[in-house]
Amino acid sequence: MKKVITLSIFITTYLAMGQTPCIDGMAGSFECNGYDLISQIPLSTFNSVKANDSWGWTDPQDGKEYAIICLNEGTAFIDISDPLNPVYLGQLPSESNDHTTWRDAKTFNNHAFIVSEDSNHGMQVFDLTRLRNVTSPPEVFTTDALYTNFGSSHNIVVNEDTGYAYAVGTDSFGGGPHFVDINDPVNPVAAGGFSAEGYTHDAQVVIYNGPDSDYTGREILFGSNQTQVVIVDVTDKGNPQTISTVAYNNVSYTHQGWLTEDQRYFLLGDETDEISSGINSRTIIFDFLDLDNPQVHFEYYGATGATDHNGYVKGDKFYLANNAAGLRVMDISDIANQNMSEFGFFDSYSNNNNSGFNGSWNVFPFLDSGHIIISDRAEGFLLVKAPELGIDELNISNSMMLYPNPVTHRLTISSSREEITSVVITDLVGKIIYSEVFDGTKNKEIDLSNVSQGMYFALIDGIVSKKILKR
């Protein structure tokens, strides 16, 4: 059977804010490993002094993807359906003039729910389907509803399976979770709260389907509560119950954590331990085999001393907004055996990798397209992505050559062993811009004179090879 070979070709442009592949450890001015810069929108475009949190939304009507970027002044919405040419659609201003550093957004049922530590802000509700009909961007948007049973709030958590929002760090319930029924998004209803374990900084809430069968089907909140992790059964909103609490060594500030997809392990970031102890970025991994008796499983230390911030699990990868070290991606496929390793990174903060509060605030890795949203305090919005066919490239240089490199208008593909039978070149969203099938040859010259500068993928009968440039 003939061996299938695919060559990944990257033809890049050097226009400002355009796509830039990761070549020799750099994507323009950003250090990187395995993640390309697809596009960027700076803070100046948003008329903002600082970005903070972020999220994403996919329109179920047409599959278009959008980025939601929280700013000191309000919330920006960006159409990223053409990832190379994102469109800033507009901004929803804050409900207050405080313009603090903290704002957060989550989505449910095609609406965004936005809170802030701005005084008297409440929870904004914004109908995301309005983004379909923006004709003269950027627009100044208005809220579709405003929930005012609390004023300031540090963060908001949404369980999409139940239609409940959990505002945390509010000026109610001692800073513990404030429950809101959002099943009718524009008519949010107060549903109680939980104050027994004190202030909650961040949380994840799920319908539990993990290894502890005692709680199967229950709605469980996993809270990061400054000095400990708390596990709370919030199924009955009128009578939430603490299941357990768990501490760990060298607690500094229990900030944020996320479950693995099997709900067995919980990956926690302590926000200020790097600052207070001078250690490298630390992630504490808990074993939640028994929710009544959670245990520390092991600790993972990153490659730099940068402060960890928000982290999320998708599949067997852990995506961490690592402040001055940017986006860091860890392989957690062997987490059961206490093994984690860095898979790749994109450093959105070029100055250093020191501890402190610079660089990436949040990352959003859950888009089906594989694009990752980064909200960086100073750089604004960045969109990055691993090469379509993977970071680890098959080295077949002994049997296949691509030249010249950098490519001019013509690309020659030469094989010393196998005959080439087809060439397909696509753009990043899969649109075919060149395709040819032939009887077989060991040397093929392709005319690229009509191909615009940009990033592309070339498929030569099958698997990945190496990046090349066209100028």
Q: What's residue 449's pLDDT?
A: 82
Residue 337's SS3 state is: helix
Q: What's residue 471's pLDDT?
A: 60
Render 128-185 in DSSP notation, one character per residue: GGGGGG--SSSEE---SEEE-S-S--SEEEEETTTTEEEEES-SSGGGS-EEEE-SST
d(CA 257, CA 320): 10
Q: Which CA distances in Å does 134 have to 42, 75, 79, 89, 91?
A: 21, 16, 10, 7, 12
Render 263-331 in DSSP notation, one character per residue: SSEEEEEETTHHHHH-PPPEEEEEE-SSTTS-EEEEEEE-SS-PPP--EEEETTEEEEE-BTT-EEEEE
Sign (positive/negative) of CA torsion 126, 309, 20, 456? negative
Which residues are 444's β-sheet partners? 413
pLDDT digits (tens, 9 = 90+) for 361-378: 999 999 999 999 999 999
Helix-strand-coil percent breakdown of the chain, rounded to 5?
Answer: 5, 45, 50
Q: Just give the CATH number of 35-385.
A: 2.130.10.10
Are the C-beta atoms of 76 and 44 separated by less than 8 Å? no
pLDDT digits (tens, 9 = 90+) for 308-320: 999 999 999 999 9
Q: What's residue 400's pLDDT?
A: 61
Each residue's pLDDT, cut to its tens digit, for the chain (471 residues) gives 333 333 444 443 323 355 788 888 999 999 999 999 999 999 999 999 999 999 999 999 999 999 999 999 999 999 999 998 999 999 999 999 999 999 999 999 999 999 999 999 999 999 999 999 999 999 999 999 999 999 999 999 999 999 999 999 999 999 999 999 999 999 999 999 999 999 999 999 999 999 999 999 999 999 999 999 999 999 999 999 999 999 999 999 999 999 999 999 999 999 999 999 999 999 999 999 999 999 999 999 999 999 999 999 999 999 999 999 999 999 999 999 999 999 999 999 999 999 999 999 999 999 999 999 999 999 999 999 987 544 433 333 445 666 776 677 888 877 765 677 777 777 666 677 777 877 777 777 888 888 877 667 767 765 444 455 556
Are the C-beta atoms of 199 and 145 separated by less than 8 Å? no
d(CA 270, CA 54): 20
Q: What's residue 464's pLDDT?
A: 41
Number of H helices, E strands in the chain: 2, 37
* Cα 259-32-24 angle, rounded to 5 deg: 145
Residue 215's SS3 state is: helix
Taking the domains of the chain in order of start, what are their residue ranges?
1-33+387-471, 35-385
The model's pTM is 0.84
DSSP type of residue 375? E
Bond before 86 cis per omega within 30 degrees: no
d(CA 374, CA 382): 5
Q: Just give the CATH number of 1-33+387-471.
A: 2.60.40
d(CA 48, CA 70): 10
- Of all helices (H) and strands (E), which one includes residue 46? helix 43-46
pLDDT digits (tens, 9 = 90+) for 145-193: 999 999 999 999 999 999 999 999 999 999 999 999 999 999 999 999 9
CB atoms within 10 A of CB 24: 6
Are the C-beta atoms of 168 and 203 separated by less than 8 Å? yes
What phi, psi does 215 have (nearest 5°)? -120, 15
d(CA 418, CA 365): 38
Are the C-beta atoms of 170 and 179 separated by less than 8 Å? no
- 265, with CB counted inside 10 A (0-12, 13-18, 19+), is buried
